[in-house]
Structure 1
């Protein structure tokens, strides 16, 4: 009996000392990297409520920094096709990043209509290089899971530019969709179809970002407050179409013909969280939902890998100036919950 009690005391003391060592190690790293840490906070506008959460944020920053360096060593040796880098998510654990993107459930029915006829896809397409488009990359921030709204707004924005024969699209408001179409879950588990249905079924206009500013500091959706006096002409959407899950060939055909496609994507991996450049080959994930816009495709001249050109809403400091090139692989089709605008309204 006494022997067991002594063992218990030793184990308890060991656990306490381990916790104290961990805390001490965190504080030591905070001292060692103070200038680097200040630069990081400034670059990404980071603030913390007290010193305790900041200390842990710094710990994860240092931990992630080591993982990134280790991964990039493999990329340097040609054993990986993409690279990672520090970004706005580097001060959080992967589990916390994943929690921002819970798995969403698609509605059982939709209002998609027959897609228009589209010509065969060419070998590559990039609206920036091929058509001279100037596309503004949006930043949804780190507190609201609003990718569904950003991707929808961007797909309609680029489609409208194609229809109006302009290469300088007017940025449309994701906040308009988050607040007005979010149905109470605009920052948590909403889907792009809800945004498309809001615009098409209810005939609601989509305002420009200038008229209905985005606010990526809000952790919950705000009040639906469209401008009382619009200075510009809002976009009205008359119809949208869907693509069967896994049908990448159809998605390629429509993307080539100027129809940006919104897709559901699982972002829950360290590699996606810290992606910086190269051809992304999706690794094992934990099961989550994020929405992005497929705007093109091509073949990488360095690796000879085929890829999709996808516009994200993590700002220009993430990925390749806000974009990610995802490997085109028949065993890992990208088309999932795929929707795209097909006709503007009056």
Structure 2
């Protein structure tokens, strides 16, 4: 049974061990949610402000699914099967929580692609694929193959608003660890 989807706002506002909108680690955020036994289905009702606010999410809210055991693997241990393993986890458990590289001052061309993205499949020659380069968290919600080009892709939910990209989503080349998106995937393995 796929796990419920977890949205960005409560993590940005409430996981104080990280740095809100200034970065952090998915594992730290998930650990915080587990330790506080958060109800994950309340997240869709938590308003997104594209900025860090004060924590307004309650760990004891009724009717939710308790945040369960965290499933994790590092694709660097088995890079030849990372994409296939991620596809299987997506089908079995639901959304994959990942991070990727979206550019910086040294990679302005990468930043330009992400900031100006409207549609299509992101496929950037020379985009860093090391997990040490990641600087933005996103959620993989699906995968497919482009019918016109034959390029395999991940369908990804971004946190930059519905005005950006394909109604807040983007597609990025799958199977080549494009911009490190296949480096450190997480999923909620078993809601409690």
With normalisation by structure 1, the TM-score equals 0.45
Structural RMSD (CA) = 2.8
Counterpart CA distance in 2 for 1:331 and 1:313 is: 20
- The residue aligned with 1:237 is 67
Deviation at 1:215, TM superposition (A): 2.4
Distance 1:184 1:307, change over 3 A: closer
Who wins on radius of gyration, i.e. which is larger? 1
Deviation at 1:173, TM superposition (A): 5.3
Q: Residue 197 of structure 1 is aligned with which of 8, 31, 56? A: 31
Count of residues in Structure 1 that have an aligned counterpart in Structure 2: 174
Counterpart CA distance in 2 for 1:184 and 1:328 is: 28
- The residue aligned with 1:165 is none
- The residue aligned with 1:299 is 145
Query: Given that residues 13 and 55 in structure 2 are in contact (C-alpha distance below 8 angstroms), is that contact kept between their aligned partners in structure 1?
Result: yes
1:151-300 equivalences under 5 Å are 159-160=3-4, 174-183=8-17, 185-206=19-40, 207-210=42-45, 212-216=46-50, 218=51, 221-226=52-57, 230=61, 233-245=63-75, 246=79, 247-268=82-103, 269=110, 270-285=112-127, 287-300=133-146
Counterpart CA distance in 1 for 2:136 and 2:161 is: 15
Deviation at 1:184, TM superposition (A): 5.7
Unaligned stretches of 5+ residues in structure 2: 104-109
- The residue aligned with 1:24 is none
For CA contacts below 8 A with separation 6 or more, give which structure has more relative contact order.
Answer: 2
Deviation at 1:316, TM superposition (A): 1.9
Deviation string, structure 1 residues 285-317 (Cα, Å, up to 9, x no partner):
474511111111111111111111112122222
**Comparing both structures, which one devotes a greater share of its residues to strand?**
2
**Comparing both structures, which one devotes a greater share of its residues to helix?**
1
Distance 1:236 1:325, change over 3 A: same
Query: Given that residues 309 and 324 in structure 1 are in contact (C-alpha distance below 8 angstroms), is that contact kept between their aligned partners in structure 2?
Result: yes
Counterpart CA distance in 2 for 1:255 and 1:284 is: 27
Secondary structure of 1:257 counterpart: helix
Secondary structure of 1:249 counterpart: helix
